[in-house]
Amino acid sequence: MSTQRPLNILEVSAGARSEGSISRLLTADLIAALDTRYGDTAVARRDVAAGLPFIDETWVAANFTPEEERTAQHRQTLAESDALVAELLAADVLVIGAPIYNFSVPATLKAWIDMIARARLTFQYTDNGPQGLLKDKKAYVVVPSGGVPVGSPMDFATPYLRHALSFVGITDVEFIGAQGADRGNDEALDDARARIAELIHLAPQAA
């Protein structure tokens, strides 16, 4: 990581609970570990659980209108998506709190992905298919769950997130599971924290 400027971290929180949230607890631990490791960090926080717009016909029409032809209404429609994309472009490291809800990601996190998957901004179409434009970014995804182990046949969240992030060019992704931590499983919480410590310790230093 560069030492010439702060390490820019974008935290995306999708847990529905603000108090007692395991995903928020562990993303805070992860960010603290990054701060300890790199010493100079700047954190932008996006709480998608507070709500994001869903893609609708008006949004699609605005998005598919060429930039130079967009009206003031088009730009207003895309304003939130533009802000989310700008946050992501500015980040060196992405930290996502993504609890498993009903075998997959929270709907608000899916809405965030829909808002940041923007042709010509975060990916482009080529003769060889779509190509992600977000290079040299690292992602850590904290995945608490009740009864769904990360990587199990019932886990549709982590494969989806890996693919969605790869689609926009973020291929260096680490998942930290915490099955049952929200049900008093202290061992799961300890294991997740040990995994965080291991991952941050092994993070490459800048040349």
Q: What is the pLDDT of residues 77-98, one digit of tens each?
A: 999 999 999 999 999 999 999 9
Q: Say which residue, 132 or 1, is predicted with more confidence.
A: 132
Residue 202 has pLDDT above 50, yes or no: no
Query: How far is CA 85 from its chain centroid?
Result: 12
Tokens standing for residue 16: 């529905």
CA distance 124 to 145: 34
Q: Are 14 and 98 in contact (CB under 8 A)?
A: yes
Flag whether 48 is in a domain: yes
Flag whether 146 is in a domain: yes
Q: Are 27 and 11 in contact (CB under 8 A)?
A: yes
CA distance 141 to 175: 5
pTM confidence score: 0.89
Flag whether 179 is in a domain: yes
CATH number, residue 101: 3.40.50.360
What is the pLDDT at residue 57?
97
Q: What angle do CA 63, 168, 89 make, to 5 degrees?
A: 80
Q: How many domains does the chain have?
A: 1
The range of the structural domain enclosing residue 96 comes to 7-56+87-202
Flag whether 170 is in a domain: yes
Flag whether 2 is in a domain: no
For residue 182, name the pLDDT band (cuts at 50, 70, 90).
low
Flag whether 165 is in a domain: yes
What is the pLDDT at residue 178?
85
Flag whether 187 is in a domain: yes
Name the β-bridge partners of 124.
131
pLDDT-wise least confident of 8-12, 17-21, 53-57: 17-21
Q: Say which residue, 4 or 137, is predicted with more confidence.
A: 137
